[in-house]
Amino acid sequence: MGRIVVISTGGTIASRWQGSGFAADADGSEVMATAPLPEGITVEVVDLFSVNSPRLTTAHQLTLLRTVHEVLADPEVDGIVVTHGTDTLEESAFLVDLHHHDPRTVVFTGSQLPMGSAAGDGPGNLYDALLTAAATRGLGVLITFAGRVHAARGTVKTQAVALDAFADPSKELLGKIGFGKVTMLRTPQRPTPLALPSMPELPPRVDMVMHHADGDPVLLNAAVEAGARGIVLVGTGAGNATPEIVDAVRAAVERGVLVALTTRVPAGPVTEIYTHGGAVDLVAAGAVPSGTLRAGQVRIAVLAALLADVEPGERMRVLRDALASGGPVLVEA
């Protein structure tokens, strides 16, 4: 069926007992040895790093992005599987998807149970990812987990420990895997891919601030003073906060900070309904609404806009396009 390159980055799928808890320490060959190969697939392994995904940095993620592009420079490669920790998998997958312009599929997967666990989910997830990478085209970056196929865009970790860990709470399931077959139920829409960014010596700081009852601008202002070039405001409801936070957003935007607005509600779009500090006022102050994307992926979109090779004044447009909320032309993947 094809030649698949597996890029190993660590996570639970590569974790073993360390005396007081589990941590990633297995290399990609050890991870691959746990899983059967779908018929007709050959595998090559790239050991990129082996870390628990909460420890990932922007530098790690940009290295992964560039490695994906380097692997796909070989026309003999039919697809890529990335094994990754589940905590930040949604962020890394979305970063790769924002810059993915190749018809060949990149599939992210991992596990909720560590290596060697009885009835562990890693081998099955890896088998499904290999099958999906070989059997699909033109769908961008995908996430396979627990027999389900998800588009990278919009998919988040919805279960802390349960095996069926990922979903897009705002959209229908993309596809499913069973009996050696991948069945796609719909085609994801994706904005025009961004160009591959450079590797900055010091990546831009992008912070997240959540609103709540009694919330005030202290943390948002502190992020700006700490040098944040981008801020994700996690509002309540459909994307709401207070007049004081609106003022802080306006001041941050006037200083050249990119501000994106999402919500702490699991599903549904950010919507301009309310004033008196609501999304109506926040958007008027310069915050860019995120549609149905949630905080982790919105932060990646802000980061991508800051890293784009454009004039500073163009970064707001890049952010709007990355969030698919400013009227970009969406193309069928």
Cβ contact 256:312 at 8 Å: yes
Closest CA to 307 of 199, 233, 192, 191: 199
Which residues contact residue 61 at a Cβ distance below 8 angstroms, ignoring those fewer than 6 apart? 91, 92, 95
What is the Cα–Cα distance from 195 to 308, expressed in whole angstroms?
7
Q: How many Cα neighbours within 13 Å face the side chain of 224?
A: 18
Between the two ends of the chain, the Cα-to-Cα distance in Å is 22
Catalytic residue check, 12: yes
- Alpha-helical segments (H) within 114-269: 122-135, 218-225, 243-254
DSSP state of 21: S
Catalytic residue among 12, 34, 132, 292: 12
**Which residues are designated catalytic?**
12
